[in-house]
Chain A
Amino acid sequence: ETGVTQSPTHLIKTRGQQVTLRCSSQSGHNTVSWYQQALGQGPQFIFQYYREEENGRGNFPPRFSGLQFPNYSSELNVNALELDDSALYLCASSPGLQETQYFGPGTRLLVL
């Protein structure tokens, strides 16, 4: 059984650019959540998608947006990148709402 995968593994962007991160959920999982983890901190919840609809959002500005596709894979888009957006971005999938979340390896984003 394939676990959660994310691409790319690493990314370097400059301030003001836009970035798209991708996530493939674990087989049989219909819920995807995205988190941002700064160095030395715990992950912070960005938003969650359930069956292609946004199902909740953390304290992140609208320039953080997402999509979930019919196969339950997901994208995280960040517009107008800022230096503070440099972090490890984690995707987690679960078999349904209020179920245990399983994390992917993350995408390391560096904004210069």
Chain B
Amino acid sequence: EDQVTQSPEALRLQEGESSSLNCSYTVSGLRGLFWYRQDPGKGPEFLFTLYSAGEEKEKERLKATLTKKESFLHITAPKPEDSATYLCAVQLGGGADGLTFGKGTHLIIQP
């Protein structure tokens, strides 16, 4: 069964304290891996798509990387406004296009 596991479940950091969130996956035929940010009570906001091992993408204080079995979301010098739940999802090649999501990492940045 295809699975996506995110760790840690929750993370509390001080403002400016860099860290990484992990997303490991056990799927066959990965087409793409997606990172989303979700604020409480709102829909997920798209951040990055990664397609192949070794690929990296950056946006402001966030950088996403991909290996054959996992992805990391690195957050550098975070600010309180970076507090949110970060969701990882995978999409398989061929067949239905539905995304398979992990449970997310709830990130809190304290000023």
User: What 6 A-B pairs have minimum CB-CB distances, sorted nearest first?
Assistant: A56-B96, A45-B98, A42-B101, A103-B43, A103-B44, A105-B43
Cβ < 8 Å to B, chain A residues 7-42: 31, 33, 35, 40-42
CB contacts between A and B, total, < 8 Å? 70
User: Which of B58-66, B70-78, B85-93 faces chain A?
Assistant: B85-93
Q: A residues near B, CB below 8 A?
A: 4, 6, 31, 33, 35, 40-45, 47-48, 50, 55-58, 88, 90, 94, 97-98, 100-106, 108
- B-side interface residues, number (CB < 8 Å): 26
List chain B residues, Cβ under 8 A from A97: 97
Complex Cα gap A106–B95 (Å): 25
List chain A residues, Cβ under 8 A from B53: none
Are the CB atoms of B93 and A98 closer together than 8 Å?
yes
Are the CB atoms of A42 and B89 closer together than 8 Å?
yes
Q: Can you list 21 residue pairs at the A/B interface with Cβ under 8 Å?
A: A33-B97, A42-B4, A42-B103, A43-B87, A43-B89, A43-B101, A44-B101, A45-B100, A48-B97, A48-B98, A55-B96, A58-B98, A88-B41, A90-B44, A98-B31, A98-B32, A98-B91, A101-B46, A103-B44, A106-B42, A108-B41
